[in-house]
Structure 1
């Protein structure tokens, strides 16, 4: 994991500055017959968390497709850049980052939504309970810590500031900094930052400790919505259609399994997954998990999730008007989820709440 050092707002721009040449050399050539298709997908995880593909694999939903963990990330833009250049086979990020990467000529396709915001799963912008910060205007000149720049959290901050009546010049005076998620609560409490973005497990853990309050949340801003998608390169999809279908459909089944399974059982299953992979991770934060927040059934993409950010990026001048179309950025072709299939998974004995 990178050290908890601050990164300026401008530095993230290089993260998505990927060339088509870099993408073209990323994936090995080959036919698309069943025998020639890869059955091992390289990916990056998140420390202390279980991502949907890991859950799908543990449930048996990936069938003959295997996952190969190559390390962890704390950045969605970095994750999808690695997928675009062929260092990994799929990556996930906030949809605005997906749009921006596509606008930089990366031949990628979003294949399934994997996280979002709802009343249980959301990112909140938190301040200390006695902080004088109460409004958007109070953030001028203040430091806001988030996991990465140019992604979900910065977009939400930007929208909040715009709705608060701040001009672009005033918005630029709000300092967004990169702080690794596991360090955000501590940085806030030690007053290294005035606002910390906390989501899901880390948010619930911090709230249980007390002494902080929300300034706003993304759920309050936009309601329930799917916020991020997994992407694969067009080349990978062409060469490995059956593998892609197994993967996407397996993740879709895992979304619905988590949505319909008792909360305690989902937590027990994820805790078991973390213990089995043996990376010396703390499983206690998993007890605070509530939801993946995916809005649509089986993570199917409607297009509106991407259009929102196409407009936002064009307004900011980050991409040219008309540079990309939502319909070109995603496909549901590989999502073969059918209602009821997710119920076929059988939990191993160690995945039960009491571990017996």
Structure 2
């Protein structure tokens, strides 16, 4: 916990130091070039919006690839980039540390086609949450989506805080998680996306539980902007968020084959020497709200979890502090 607080303090101090100087150009006009981090072998919704021509007079400037959601929003908070995206729980923690960020649109989540599952070997004796006491679950990182869902599952299944503490979460590189499960180094593996699909194709695994089975369809992560950026660039903010909303709605409503083909074209055109194999497994956006509209419950769920974990104080943050749908045209039921 001490280490996390030190990291958040460093982010906060850097964000204050960045100030308004990074929020607008030297002439005082609104920013038209938005710096961002991408993802290897994947297409982000800002990149899709740009390719579809929705950004208007705005341009994206690729700043390299992100290593994780928390890292991505920290870069946005400190002014190294202009926007970033992460699991909503990570946004809550950063905001609770007084980082001046605001979520403006949802960008990933879970639905019937795209979700995270927690799998055991077919012959495993693990059948219930209580069977997990003393066992190891492989997760991609701590303090994010996997940990939050697992602990919510254990709580709902009646385990006490002391019993939950006995369930060991093991940080495992996502590409190695399936192998670690099959070799007996893990008792349960958290798998999502293409890695889940490939693992299930090979057979021999069964689901213990899934995030969608626990929570229903939900948006799990959001894109954030700094509050000083929003204040200095209201027109750019509205154009940018509206473009993302249109790109998300495009992906939500077009045939899967058309979306995948577009992603492959974007990856080929940008010339970053990467494979497009992963996008061929794309199934859906996973985003619950049309055009990425955010709902209170998508933050409240994780506020409640973080309060139970003792990571934030009761009442320290509320959903209204964390996000706004003001700039998303779909919030009013229209995409015009």
Per the normalisation by structure 1, the TM-score is 0.86
Give deviations 1:215-245, integer Å, cap 9, x for gaps.
1100000101111111111011111222221
Change (3 A) 1:24 1:13: closer
Matched, 1:134 2:127: yes
Give deviations 1:250-291, integer Å, cap 9, x for gaps.
110011101111110101111222222333333223222111
Rounded to whole Å, the distance in 2 between the matches of 1:122 and 1:151 is 15
Q: Please state whether the residue corresponding to 1:144 is helix, strand or coil.
A: strand
* More divergent stretch after superposition (175-184 vs 112-121): 175-184
Counterpart residue number, 1:183: 176
Counterpart residue number, 2:326: 333
Change (3 A) 1:262 1:210: same
Counterpart residue number, 1:38: 31
CA shift, 1:164, in A, is: 2.4
Q: Please state whether the residue corresponding to 1:91 is helix, strand or coil.
A: strand
* More divergent stretch after superposition (88-97 vs 177-186): 177-186
Rounded to whole Å, the distance in 1 between the matches of 2:124 and 2:174 is 21
Counterpart residue number, 2:104: 111
Matched, 1:306 2:299: yes
Rounded to whole Å, the distance in 2 between the matches of 1:159 and 1:118 is 18
Counterpart residue number, 1:22: 14
Change (3 A) 1:68 1:170: same
Rounded to whole Å, the distance in 1 between the matches of 2:273 and 2:125 is 39
CA shift, 1:52, in A, is: 1.4
Equivalence map 1:160-239=2 (5 Å): 160-239=153-232
Across the aligned residues of Structure 1 and Structure 2, the Cα RMSD in angstroms comes to 2.4
Rounded to whole Å, the distance in 2 between the matches of 1:327 and 1:246 is 22
Change (3 A) 1:49 1:213: farther
Rounded to whole Å, the distance in 2 between the matches of 1:192 and 1:82 is 34
The structure where helix makes up a greater share of residues is 2
CA shift, 1:165, in A, is: 2.1
Rounded to whole Å, the distance in 1 between the matches of 2:322 and 2:250 is 27
Rounded to whole Å, the distance in 2 between the matches of 1:190 and 1:40 is 48
Counterpart residue number, 1:242: 235
Rounded to whole Å, the distance in 2 between the matches of 1:215 and 1:183 is 19
* More divergent stretch after superposition (74-83 vs 277-286): 277-286
Rounded to whole Å, the distance in 1 between the matches of 2:210 and 2:17 is 40
CA shift, 1:340, in A, is: 5.9
Rounded to whole Å, the distance in 2 between the matches of 1:237 and 1:144 is 40
Q: Please state whether the residue corresponding to 2:329 is helix, strand or coil.
A: coil
Equivalence map 1:114-125=2 (5 Å): 114-125=107-118
> Contact between 1:205 and 1:285, CA under 8 Å: does it hold in 2?
no
Rounded to whole Å, the distance in 2 between the matches of 1:254 and 1:76 is 20
| Matched positions, count | 333
Q: Please state whether the residue corresponding to 1:25 is helix, strand or coil.
A: helix
Rounded to whole Å, the distance in 2 between the matches of 1:33 and 1:250 is 25
Give deviations 1:147-167, integer Å, cap 9, x for gaps.
221111110000111122222
